[in-house]
């Protein structure tokens, strides 16, 4: 279910006091104007998730650390494909090999290399979001030992953005109408419209995504929000 919320960021009224009282402006060629910024946002349940996970291994030598890491990563990739993840949805985002520095003795003496640490990080896109728990379980089975986070999104966000834009314009108009009514004038034609996109943070509404209640990795997806901000300038009429 989509919930629609709007909030105005700012409003500026460019109306000389003499004009509000019925007098002419100092420069008749420059119409009095009102500029209002409105915001709209639309929330929806996510239908796609991106997981950052990986493998970290340690061994006495750099070659051994990389060999162990590669073997574990192959297991992760096999498990992910077995869970229904397509190759196009798996991308390596980080690969590192570093010495493991360790101090000798208890007096903070000079550090020496004590083995090597290899790390390989993947971004995995899960298009069947109800399978997210099962995918995570498959990834950590005899393989991934690092989980850096999950982000949720909407695969086709254009309709949400369009709804947010429409809500932002309505919000700006409502604010402008309120202000001009209080000033004793009315809105005229629109002189300009500009858009500034904004994306409110996800709404923390709990939603269990794992289809099996007994799944070992339950996940809460909440809702994601798409937002838009527009600034509209109207000409004022007495």
- Which pLDDT tens digits describe the chain residue by residue (238 residues)? 344 333 333 344 444 333 333 333 446 667 899 999 999 999 999 999 999 999 999 999 999 999 999 999 999 999 999 999 999 999 999 999 999 988 776 666 678 888 999 999 999 999 998 889 889 999 988 789 999 999 999 999 999 999 999 999 999 999 999 999 999 999 999 999 999 855 444 443 333 333 343 444 667 777 888 899 999 999 999 8
Indicate if 71 and 134 belong to the same structural domain. yes
Segments forming the whole domain that contains residue 88: 48-153
Indicate if 53 and 36 belong to the same structural domain. no
Q: Which helix or strand (DSSP H or E) is residue 100 part of?
A: strand 90-103
Other C-beta atoms lying within 10 Å of the C-beta of residue 64: 15
Written as six digits, the tokens of 52 are 């950052």
Indicate if 98 and 174 belong to the same structural domain. no
In 3-state terms, what secondary structure has residue 144?
coil
Is there a contact between 180 and 20 (Cβ–Cβ < 8 Å)? no
Indicate if 141 and 93 belong to the same structural domain. yes
Indicate if 180 and 114 belong to the same structural domain. no
DSSP 212: S
Indicate if 117 and 174 belong to the same structural domain. no
Whether the model pTM is above 0.85: no
User: What is the DSSP track for 104-115?
Assistant: -TTTT--EEEEE
Contacts of 50 (CB under 8 A, 6+ apart): 123, 124, 125, 126, 150, 151, 153
Number of domains making up the chain: 2
User: Residue 211 belongs to a domain with what CATH number?
Assistant: 3.30.110.170
Indicate if 116 and 175 belong to the same structural domain. no
Picking from 136, 153, 170, the residue at the C-terminal end of a domain is 153
């Amino acid at each position: 279910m989509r919930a629609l919320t709007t909030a105005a960021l700012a409003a500026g009224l460019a109306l000389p006091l003499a004009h509000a009282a019925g007098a002419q402006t100092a420069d008749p060629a420059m119409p009095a104007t009102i500029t209002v910024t409105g915001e709209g946002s639309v929330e929806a349940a996510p239908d796609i998730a991106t997981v950052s996970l990986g493998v970290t291994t340690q061994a006495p030598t750099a070659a051994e650390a990389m060999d162990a890491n590669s073997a574990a990563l192959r297991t992760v990739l096999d498990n992910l494909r077995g869970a229904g993840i397509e190759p196009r949805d798996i991308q390596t985002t980080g690969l590192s090999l570093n010495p493991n520095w360790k101090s000798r003795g208890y007096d903070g003496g000079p550090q020496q290399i004590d083995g090597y640490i290899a790390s390989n990080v993947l971004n995995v896109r899960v298009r069947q979001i109800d399978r997210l728990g099962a995918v995570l379980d498959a990834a950590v089975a005899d393989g991934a030992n690092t989980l850096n986070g999950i982000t949720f999104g909407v695969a086709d966000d254009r309709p949400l953005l369009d709804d947010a834009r429409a809500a932002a314009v309505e919000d700006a108009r409502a604010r402008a109408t309120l202000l001009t009514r209080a000033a004793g004038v009315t809105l005229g034609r629109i002189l300009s419209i500009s858009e500034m996109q904004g994306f409110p943070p996800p709404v923390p509404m709990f939603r269990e995504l794992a289809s099996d209640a007994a799944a070992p990795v339950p996940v809460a997806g909440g809702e994601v929000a798409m937002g838009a901000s527009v600034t509209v300038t109207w000409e004022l009429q007495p």
